[in-house]
């Protein structure tokens, strides 16, 4: 159990989102469905994540890893 947790932390295989003061870090998404300065929609395993806010800018860090800067006002996760 501890091994799987540590392995996923070091080499994540599941969708993961971290929300900070002015940034959102996302790993293991499938694709970006909508990309705008006020709205971003991302598809992940059996989920659709909608981020709404202001002044969004997107940086792709690694394969299947994003860093979004801006003011997050709402986050919605819909399970499919």
The pLDDT of residue 60 is 83
Domains in the chain, CATH or no CATH each: 2-79 (2.60.40.2000)
pTM for this entry: 0.81
Q: ∠ CA 24-28-66 to the nearest 5 degrees?
A: 35
| pLDDT on residue 9 | 58
> In the prediction, which pLDDT does 61 show?
80
Q: What is the pLDDT of residue 18?
A: 93
Residue ranges of E strands in 1-80: 16-19, 23-27, 31-35, 39-44, 47-62, 65-79
Q: What is the pLDDT of residues 11-65, one digit of tens each?
A: 556 888 999 999 999 999 999 999 999 999 999 988 999 999 999 999 988 888 9
């Amino acid at each position: 159990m501890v091994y799987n947790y540590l392995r996923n932390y070091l080499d994540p295989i599941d969708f993961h989102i971290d929300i900070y003061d002015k940034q959102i870090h996302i790993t293991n998404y499938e694709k970006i469905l909508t990309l705008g300065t006020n709205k971003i929609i991302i598809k992940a395993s059996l989920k659709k994540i909608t981020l709404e806010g202001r002044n969004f800018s997107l940086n792709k860090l690694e394969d299947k890893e994003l860093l979004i800067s801006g003011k997050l006002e709402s986050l919605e996760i819909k399970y499919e």
